[in-house]
Amino acid sequence: MSPDTQRIPKEELKKKRIGVLMGGTSAEREVSLASGRNILEALVHLGYNAIAIEVDEKLALRLAEEKIEVAFIGLHGRLGEDGSVQGLLEVQRIPYTGAGVLASALAMNKVISRKIFTQRGLPVPRYVVLQERETPSAAAKIPFPLPVVVKPCQEGSSIGVTIVREKRKFAEALDLAYSYGSEILVEEFIDGREISVGILDDDPLGVIEIIPRVEFYNYSAKYTDGLAEHRCPAPLPSRDYQRALELGLAAHQALQCEGGTRVDMLYRKRGTASGQIYILEVNTLPGMTELSLLPEIARSRGISFPELVERILLGARLKISTKTGGRRVANPEV
């Protein structure tokens, strides 16, 4: 880690003005506001000089006006979790929490991240990529039988996701996924248990199992109390539990993530591949709401919510150095 990108000591952070970035313009705005409020409350409780910054197209101006010196990113979805805000913060030289520009962009793109996982030998479901406005005849291109899962390439919180069990429903699922972007993913349906691994500073904290009371762990189940049961630690055989931890960390590191992340997976229930684990995606800015998984996993390790927030904050830094050939570049021209 170069001198430009070192973490800020805790005693120095206490003196700095911290902006908790929340809201944004993605489909996950309301979830982000809830996460941001919880983060802000924890930081103020711990004695940090933190304020809320609701993110919109005037973010750069607001950061300058409020004299923000460190950013705690509580955003979810596009233009927050995809490297966009991270790039702005790098340009303004404001240290920030979580993954950097490249890691954020890679994790947000399900197609690119899966290619990286495959290259690293990490298990993922079989999938195909479809381009904008493929017709229902696209079903002929899919090399595995129904049911299949259709999802946007760059959305979170299961937004735009459909499990297609009948051929006649395929076109409708395509239309929904394409409403969120020009590239979508169609993957084989795996009859599996939904599990997630929480990572904090390259430490896999634990595995949680999610049992939705609806068809799958969709947006409603994630953010509506009573629509999903959580089991933490997940009741898996010890060998499989350890394997899930290892795969979670491997996925986190394959994308060069930092701070607190959540790796979503499927654990196959039965058949000849029973016990097989498949990686779905890495969330670089996981939810921090009352129903969110990373805080629950952290609690299972004895880490309170304020402590989790502080540990993420302590990882705030710039990731891109402004030094070239041993010289510091002052006001570099673009």
Average of per-residue pLDDT across 108-124: 95
What SS3 class is residue 229?
Answer: strand
- pLDDT for 6 equals 81
- pLDDT for 270 equals 59
Average of per-residue pLDDT across 206-225: 67
Whole-number Å distance between alpha carbons of 273 and 329: 55
pLDDT in tens, 165-212: 888 888 888 888 888 888 889 999 998 899 999 999 999 999 999 997
**Active-site residues: which are they?**
28, 157, 223, 262, 264, 281, 283, 287
- pLDDT for 303 equals 97
| Better pLDDT: 281 or 153 | 281
pLDDT in tens, 28-41: 889 999 999 999 99
Q: Is 229 exposed, middle or buried (0-12, 13-18, 19+ CB in 10 A)?
A: exposed
| Better pLDDT: 211 or 332 | 211
Instruction: List, in order of start, the domains of the chain with CATH numbers.
Output: 3-98+317-328 (3.40.50.20), 126-188 (3.30.1490.20), 192-303 (3.30.470.20)
Q: Are 180 and 198 in contact (CB under 8 A)?
A: no
Sheet of 127-131: strands edge to edge? 127-131, 183-188, 148-152, 162-164
Say which residues have a Cβ less than 8 Å from residue 158's Cβ, sequence separation at least 6.
Answer: 151, 216, 217, 218, 219, 222
- pLDDT for 221 equals 47
- pLDDT for 168 equals 84
- pLDDT for 179 equals 85
What region does 85 belong to: left with phi over 0, alpha with psi -120 to 50, or beta? alpha
* Residue owning tokens 């070239």: 324
| Better pLDDT: 56 or 25 | 56
Structure tokens belonging to residue 177: 């996924």
Confidence category of residue 157, pLDDT binned at 50, 70, 90 = low
pLDDT in tens, 43-96: 999 999 999 999 999 999 999 999 999 999 999 988 889 999 999 999 999 999
The per-residue pLDDT of the chain, averaged, comes to 88
Average of per-residue pLDDT across 89-118: 96
Q: Decide: pTM greater than 0.75.
A: yes
Whole-number Å distance between alpha carbons of 189 and 181: 22
